[in-house]
C-alpha cells in the first residue's frame, strides 16, 4: 500500500510537470491556451485514473489483490492513454489556431479534423490549407500571395506572387551570338 501511495505521488508530480510544460507555451504559439489546458487536464485525469485503478483492481495469479504490482502497471497504462489524449487535443488545437492564422474558417476545419475518421480530416486540412500571407512593406498588414495591392494602404506589391517563376530575359530578336 505504501508503494502505491508513492507511485500516486510520483504520478501527481509527473502530471504537474506536464501541465507546466503544456500551459506555459513551450509546445507552440499556434495552439490556443484552452486547447492546452484541456489536453493537460485529460492527461492528468488519465494518469490518475490509471494509477488508482491499477492499485485497486490488479490481481495476481492467485486471485489476491496486489496494489504494489498494479500501481506501476496502471501508471504506464494511464500515461499511454494520457499521451494519446494530449496529442489528439493539441493536434485539434493546432488545426484551429493555424486556420485562424491563415484567415480560414477555423470551426469547420476543427470539426472536419475531429469527425473525419482515420486522421483523414487532419490530412485534408494540411493539403487544402491556404498559404500564409506576407507582410506589406508599407504598413505591415498580412497580404495573401495573389494580391497585387495591399488592402489596407493600397501600395502596389512588386514581388511576384508565390508559386510563380519569373523567367530571365531571353535574347532579343536579331541578336547574334
Residue of 27, 117, 38, 25 whose CA lies nearest to 82: 38
Report the percentage of the chain scoring pLDDT > 90: 19
Is 70 exceeded by the pLDDT of residue 177?
Answer: no
For 114-166, the DSSP string reads: HHSTTTHHHHHHHHHPPPPPEEPTTT--EE-TT-SB-TTT-PBP-SPPTT--P
Q: What is the C-alpha radius of gyration for the chain, rounded to an integer number of angstroms?
A: 26
Distance CA 139, CA 150 (A): 9
Is 60 exceeded by the pLDDT of residue 98?
Answer: yes
- Alpha-carbon dihedral of residues 120, 36, 143, 135, nearest 10 degrees? -130
Is 80 exceeded by the pLDDT of residue 107?
Answer: yes
Is 80 exceeded by the pLDDT of residue 154?
Answer: yes
Is 90 exceeded by the pLDDT of residue 58?
Answer: no
Q: Compute the mean pLDDT over every residue in the chain, rounded to the nearest whole number.
A: 78
> Which residues have C-beta within 8 Å of that of residue 56, sequence separation ≥ 6?
65, 67, 70
pLDDT at 6: 62
Amino acid at each position: 500500500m505504501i508503494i502505491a501511495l508513492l507511485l500516486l505521488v510520483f504520478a501527481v508530480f509527473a502530471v504537474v510537470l506536464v501541465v507546466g510544460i503544456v500551459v506555459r507555451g513551450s509546445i507552440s504559439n499556434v495552439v490556443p491556451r484552452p486547447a492546452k489546458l484541456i489536453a493537460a487536464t485529460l492527461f492528468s485525469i488519465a494518469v490518475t485514473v490509471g494509477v488508482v485503478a491499477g492499485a485497486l483492481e490488479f490481481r495476481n495469479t492467485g486471485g489476491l489483490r496486489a496494489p504494489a504490482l498494479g500501481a506501476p502497471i496502471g501508471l504506464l497504462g494511464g500515461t499511454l492513454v494520457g499521451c494519446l489524449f494530449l496529442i489528439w487535443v493539441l493536434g485539434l488545437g493546432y488545426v484551429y489556431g493555424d486556420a485562424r492564422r491563415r484567415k480560414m474558417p477555423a470551426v469547420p476545419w476543427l470539426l472536419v479534423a475531429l469527425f473525419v475518421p482515420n486522421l483523414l480530416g487532419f490530412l485534408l486540412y494540411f493539403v487544402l490549407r491556404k498559404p500564409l500571407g506576407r507582410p506589406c512593406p508599407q504598413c505591415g498588414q498580412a497580404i495573401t500571395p495573389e494580391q497585387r495591392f495591399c488592402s489596407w494602404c493600397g501600395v502596389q506589391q512588386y514581388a511576384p506572387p508565390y508559386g510563380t517563376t519569373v523567367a530571365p530575359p531571353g535574347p532579343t530578336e536579331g541578336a547574334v551570338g
